[in-house]
Chains A and B, each alone.
Chain A
């Protein structure tokens, strides 16, 4: 499109161009990729629709109930879904036999630590899942040492293995809540985590994306905007 090789002469041209190219590229993209896309989507859908296996691969049912109770305090259920609805415990269970197999010991020891903390603080309560939300938070507070967001949690860095139990559980809960729903990780069931953060589950978007680019008149050299 050689007419766009130089600066657009007027905002209208630019807007026209954007509309035109938006329509153009989606059509071309569909032509080029539709069969692959359909097959990927069908595959993902089949996976999502397959009944949730009730079986755990790492946890016992009792352990799973405890982990679910803990992750439900990290991302609680309120007027919107939380870790429980997203199936985070299933995600963690699979994580511990796949990418996070290094953390198996961390979980086994961590569950024991939580029990110890619980009986120390609330001797009458037998297990974490049976405690009141306030009691559960008190235990997790003690477990986490209530560190503020550390600067070591830099962006785009993998979560290191060998971290304390609470940090590992926290990372796994977040990952299980927000993992791409069409992955086979068993997390973010029905995409509820993405719904909570406002992320549209589509993988293909067209502008406008947000509030500010909606009425953007197109780029103009400095000075042109001054009226």
Chain B
């Protein structure tokens, strides 16, 4: 299988070098190679396969099989720019071929129309760099459909009265309902709300040589052993490789975009597995390294021409970080629900997608779902038990024995407002295992985000009440210090002074450098960003193809 794959020399000037093989990079690789371009994908992590995945929780929780490694890649955290950042694990992202799409939970809602034009509708918000997108839902709609059909999303069109218009139904029916979905649906209807089957990037039917979900329950944090989860690894990368024009090069850690005297990119400089340095030459560079590593790479690529970092004339590289707000309420039920079986989420609701700021007193909106995504160790050692449970001894054992099959989470997820000071930057002192400046995260939620999270959490408790929970509790809403959704750090916009890329994903400053991943976001949506990252990637591939065919990339 590997023998037939194309391999380029680093001195071969390929059409595109793509940095990152995740949700966006995988799609760009597939689209551009299918469109006839020669592509090299540089992925910092290893090339793992389904046979490398397992249900061993410690591989995930302790050994970082699929994610960035805190010992090799430490980072620092601070709440505000006037503080000195301290070493503290502050983010997780996928670090393997397939990126974060390997281990995500696979909730795949589309953004709604409002997400792209909310600044115009709501007006300015103090303390936030709130802005409209330069594209609309209508621009992205065909690409959402493409994600659903090509990457693979299960769902039921028309089931939510709040859904934006769509040109085509889902290609597959929703996944089987779980007991938590049934109790969520009944309780929500009692409260006059509109629950509906969750759209998930997991196959409910066999498709494109991949099997349907076997309901093993190991989604969040784990790779799917049967290719049912629609990761880039399972869905896009095999097609890219089959073109014979796309090379996926794992263990390739890019740390610089090389420029020529004209200020055009000539390729990407990376460490191979043995820390030898190479330059992969390319006519254009696409960075899809995620909302933390994409800005970091631009900052690491500072030069005489670009002293503040590549493509950073706006000063916005790394800024306006958004994580999505939200909270978790938990409930304990009498019935044996066995929610460890099946995908995490089977029912959600969007009734609170747009809360009325006049009524609630803050900006924001979000979704609620019922889920159970805690694997056994996580459940018993972490946050699965009521807070008054003894931590050890017979009562502890009785609690894990009784509760594991009877616990439900009501998960809420909503908007984060962009703030200029929330950012990823280079730590002035800490270095990673390659001697490069470590990521420094600065984050303090906007006050409205905290109010929203509390509001949604309270509503989660109401749903648990209506569902007949015997006991219910919530995690306290605290200022976030840990990032999973990495959004907004190289935002898209038409004004080069207040954005990093244009609506073609091209950097305003460098004609042949494109950025496409969570960093491109202008607003956070209501959580579940990967669907939109992927729609953007399909669209970016079309735009970039058109520019290349016009000779408008490296002329």
Contacts and interface: CB of A to CB of B under 8 A. Distances in A.
B335 A210 contact: yes
Given A33-B211, A137-B393, A157 B177 contact: no
6 tightest CB-CB pairs across the interface, nearest first? Answer: A210-B179, A25-B212, A5-B169, A212-B179, A155-B383, A178-B376
A175 B215 contact: no
Given A175-B58, A213-B182, A222 B211 contact: no
A219 B156 contact: yes
A193 B205 contact: no
Nearest to A2: B169
Interface in B12-68: 50-51, 54-58, 61-63
B217 to A, nearest CB: 7
B175 to A, nearest CB: 9
A112 interface: no
Contact of B57 (A33, A157, A175): A175
Give the size range of B's interface with the partner.
35 or more
25 contacts: A1-B173, A21-B205, A22-B176, A24-B205, A25-B205, A32-B226, A80-B401, A137-B393, A153-B383, A156-B382, A159-B62, A175-B377, A175-B381, A177-B380, A180-B55, A193-B376, A200-B341, A205-B341, A207-B176, A209-B178, A209-B341, A209-B342, A211-B337, A213-B177, A213-B179
A178 B205 CA distance: 31
Most A CB atoms within 10 A — which of B56, B220, B383? B383
Interface in A171-193: 171, 173-175, 177-180, 182-183, 185, 193
Given A6-B157, A213-B177, A25 B204 contact: yes
Interface string B69-102: 0000000000000000000010000000000000
Most B CB atoms within 10 A — which of A25, A78, A146, A225? A25
Contact of B392 (A73, A204, A207, A209): A73
Contacts of A25: 204-206, 211-214
B399 to A, nearest CB: 10
B68 to A, nearest CB: 12
A148 B388 contact: yes
A87 interface: no
Contact of B177 (A78, A154, A197, A219): A219
A110 interface: no
A146 B389 CA distance: 11
B382 A210 contact: no
Given A197-B376, A210-B337, A219-B159, A157 B482 contact: yes
Interface residues of A, number: 76
B158 A205 contact: no
B248 interface: no
A106 to B, nearest CB: 15
B277 to A, nearest CB: 31
A213 B422 CA distance: 43
Given A1-B173, A144-B392, 10 more contacts: A25-B205, A29-B206, A29-B226, A32-B206, A33-B211, A156-B221, A209-B215, A212-B182, A213-B178, A213-B181
A54 interface: no
